[in-house]
Structure 1
Amino acid sequence: MKAKINWLGECAFAGEASSGHTVIMDGPPDFGGQNRGARPMELLLLGLGGCTAFDVVQILRKSRQEVTDCQLSIEAERAETDPKVFTRIHIHYRVVGRNLNEKQVARAVSLSAEKYCSASIMLGKTAEISHEYSLHEAEAS
């Protein structure tokens, strides 16, 4: 895996992933940025969320659970002094589907956190990561 970062001026950078996708990063105005993109630390949280959501949905599908939606809410706290690493991260999974088995959802969240989600395991070296989930019945179609 490779990435390229190109400075766009002031506090803005374009990050290009080896897959060819680009994201814009920028700083807040009080640090000279123009708020044209996400902050790099925000992208770490987004990466964590995407990684674990992918795992949970895939595990549930393999368990023959009829998942119709999965949304995550993530809250994080950072250290007050440099380096301002994440110290606490809480992830809430909102899983929507038909006749979901709560034990299967709990198992999927646990497997992602403990075995499959590289981002979670890596960030867990500096942050206390907690998880919770809620199940919601999908609307009849």
Structure 2
Amino acid sequence: MSDKHVIRTEWKGNMAFEADVNGHKVMMDATTEGGGQNSGASPKKLQLVALSGCTGMDVVSILQKMRVNIEKVNIEVQGDVADEHPKHYTKMHVIYEFTGKDLPLDKLEKAVRMSEETYCGVEALYRKAIEVTSEIKIIES
């Protein structure tokens, strides 16, 4: 039998909602232009957060198993938004920025590819609906 994940979200007034994710509180709200008070993250942008966290955890874990000594990893996810309603993402682009000394590009590429093609469940779902692309940047320390 497969796992089932469950979260609960409570309306906090106006446009604000608070989600409980395993005891972690996630505030969501609309911008002031959207009728909210900007007291939390946009639900749509949290889709970008989910992708960055999912693939980031995969990539770091894989690189650690490969004994690649990374000092820092930053992940930027860019999402192109449809012009018409529903205003969903039409494309996402992931930029992996690795900092370290003499980092092996082939291993970085392999770790990213393994996350994209095998391990990241968030990306697997997104790829069924939209184009997801990526690039790697290396910063020598």
Q: TM-score range by the shorter chain?
A: over 0.9
Residue 48 of structure 1 pairs with residue 51 of structure 2: yes
Alpha-carbon distance, 1:30 to partner: 2.4
Q: Structure 1 unaligned segments of length 5 or more: list them.
A: none
Alignment-mate amino acid for residue 15 of structure 1: A
Alpha-carbon distance, 1:127 to partner: 1.5
Residue 23 of structure 1 pairs with residue 26 of structure 2: yes
Q: Structure 2 unaligned segments of length 5 or more: list them.
A: none
Aligned to 1:10: 14
* TM-score w.r.t. length of structure 1: 0.92
* TM-score w.r.t. length of structure 2: 0.92
For residues 4 and 69 of structure 1, the distance between their equivalents in structure 2, rounded to whole angstroms, comes to 33
Identity percentage of aligned residues: 34
Between the two proteins, the alignment pairs up a number of residues equal to 137
For residues 125 and 84 of structure 1, the distance between their equivalents in structure 2, rounded to whole angstroms, comes to 17
Aligned-partner SS, 1:38: coil
Q: CA RMSD in A?
A: 1.1
Aligned to 1:125: 128
- Pairs within 5 Å for 1:1-141: 1-17=5-21, 19-138=22-141
Alignment-mate amino acid for residue 11 of structure 2: W
Aligned-partner SS, 1:66: coil
Deviations 1:16-50 (A, max 9, x none): 01x21011000122222001011101111101101
Alignment-mate amino acid for residue 17 of structure 2: F
Alpha-carbon distance, 1:81 to partner: 2.2
Alpha-carbon distance, 1:98 to partner: 3.0
